[in-house]
């Protein structure tokens, strides 16, 4: 049964009305503004919410002088017995790596600088210069070790840097500062460092023997330097002293047996005015 002519005309009028309504909606100012906003949003970077303050971070190269001096024994060592195991011999040609990590951006890998024993070296360390802490990691090349007794100094070039960068524990606001002792993969989680400071797996997800910090492996038996004072090994035996004076951090170690690296925890940088 064919629809009547009147019914066909009503259908046509209804379709025309719907099309007119859609056309009017598409041409409305509010819709055009919505479409324009979407296009602009796609073409621009996503902006953070206004009520969330981003972490401040400004990593810049700062000049330091690094020096590792071997303290030689005054007395002749005793000859080993036949049954005594051969000990590892320190190689004075060992290369040492030094690198930095920001507390805000711990996964950022900066280029390591290198130095050798008894050779003062000027290095550029990429330090945090805004309101956050930094870490400095030091480790010998693979297979290398520290001298049995040594003096290590890290001197801030205050005239060039215009910043004071001291150990975290030197801050007058620091409370409950731990002793300078040992950090490794078995105990790093007990320290109040940002959780992403250390990595225990390589890029392929395999466990490493030690702690990775800024791409540098400081091993499982590294000195954890936080403040001026005595220096202790894993058995909590006094093996030296740490000083932080006149923009210089110095470590005197009397027994480095088993030490795999050094970690320095620096506080927030402060601007220093140099008097002419």
Residues 23 and 66 in one domain: no
Q: Kindly state whether residue 8 falls inside one of the protein's structural domains.
A: no
Residues 101 and 38 in one domain: no
Residues 160 and 209 in one domain: yes
Residues 109 and 34 in one domain: no
d(CA 236, CA 234): 5
- Which tokens belong to 84? 């005594």
Residues 27 and 118 in one domain: no
Count of the separate structural domains present in the chain? 2
Q: Kindly state whether residue 7 falls inside one of the protein's structural domains.
A: no
pLDDT tens per residue across all 276 residues of the chain: 555 677 767 777 777 776 776 666 656 555 554 444 444 433 333 333 333 344 556 889 999 999 999 998 765 555 555 555 445 568 889 999 999 998 888 888 888 999 999 999 999 999 888 778 899 999 999 989 999 999 999 999 999 999 888 999 888 777 778 899 999 999 999 988 887 899 998 888 889 999 999 889 999 999 999 999 999 999 999 999 999 998 999 999 999 999 999 999 999 888 876 554
3-state secondary structure of 102: strand
Q: What is the span of the domain harbouring residue 39? A: 14-43
Residues 153 and 258 in one domain: yes
pLDDT tens-place string over residues 26-48: 565 555 544 444 444 333 333 33
Q: Kindly state whether residue 52 falls inside one of the protein's structural domains.
A: no
Residues 68 and 26 in one domain: no
Q: Kindly state whether residue 264 falls inside one of the protein's structural domains.
A: yes
- Which tokens belong to 60? 């810049």
β-pair type (134-140, 238-245):
unpaired
Q: Kindly state whether residue 81 falls inside one of the protein's structural domains.
A: no
Residues 103 and 212 in one domain: yes
Backbone angles phi and psi of 14, in degrees to 5:
-65, -45
pLDDT tens-place string over residues 52-85: 344 556 889 999 999 999 998 765 555 555 555 4
Residues 129 and 255 in one domain: yes
What predicted TM-score, i.e. pTM, was given to this entire model?
Answer: 0.74
- DSSP-derived secondary structure for 87-154: PPPP-TT--EEEEEEESS-TT--PPPEEEBBTB-EEEEEEEE-SSS-EEEEEEEPTT----SSEEEEE
Q: Kindly state whether residue 1 falls inside one of the protein's structural domains.
A: no
Q: Kindly state whether residue 82 falls inside one of the protein's structural domains.
A: no
Residues 200 and 70 in one domain: yes
- Which tokens belong to 138? 């030091």
d(CA 241, CA 149): 12
Alpha carbons within 13 A on the beta-carbon side of 98: 22
Report yes or no: 57 and 132 within 8 Å, Cβ to Cβ.
Answer: yes
Residues 19 and 125 in one domain: no
Q: Kindly state whether residue 9 falls inside one of the protein's structural domains.
A: no
Residues 27 and 112 in one domain: no
């Amino acid at each position: 049964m064919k629809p009547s002519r009147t019914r066909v005309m009503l259908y046509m009028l209804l379709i025309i009305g719907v099309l007119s309504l859609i056309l009017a909606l598409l041409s409305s100012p509010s819709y055009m503004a919505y479409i324009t906003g979407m296009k602009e949003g796609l073409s621009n970077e996503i902006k953070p919410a206004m009520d969330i303050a981003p972490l401040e971070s400004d990593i810049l190269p700062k000049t330091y002088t690094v020096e590792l001096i071997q303290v030689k024994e005054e007395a002749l060592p005793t000859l080993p017995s036949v049954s005594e195991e051969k000990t590892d011999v320190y190689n004075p040609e060992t290369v040492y790596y030094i690198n930095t990590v920001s507390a805000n951006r711990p996964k950022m890998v900066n280029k390591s600088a290198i130095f050798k024993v008894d050779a003062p070296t000027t290095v550029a360390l990429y330090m945090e210069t805004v309101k956050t802490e930094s870490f400095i990691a030091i480790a010998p090349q693979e297979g290398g070790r520290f001298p049995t007794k040594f003096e290590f100094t890290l001197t801030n070039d205050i005239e060039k840097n215009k910043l004071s960068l001291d150990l975290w524990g030197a801050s007058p606001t620091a409370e409950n500062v731990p002793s300078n002792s040992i950090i490794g993969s078995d105990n790093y989680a007990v320290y109040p460092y940002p959780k992403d400071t250390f990595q225990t797996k390589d890029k392929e997800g395999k466990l490493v023997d030690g702690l990775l910090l800024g791409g540098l492996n400081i091993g499982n038996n590294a000195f954890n330097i936080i403040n001026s004072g005595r220096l202790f090994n894993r058995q909590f035996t006094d093996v030296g002293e740490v000083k932080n004076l006149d923009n210089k951090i110095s470590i005197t170690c009397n027994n480095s047996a088993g030490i795999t690296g050094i970690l320095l925890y620096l506080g927030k940088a402060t601007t220093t005015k140099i008097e002419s």
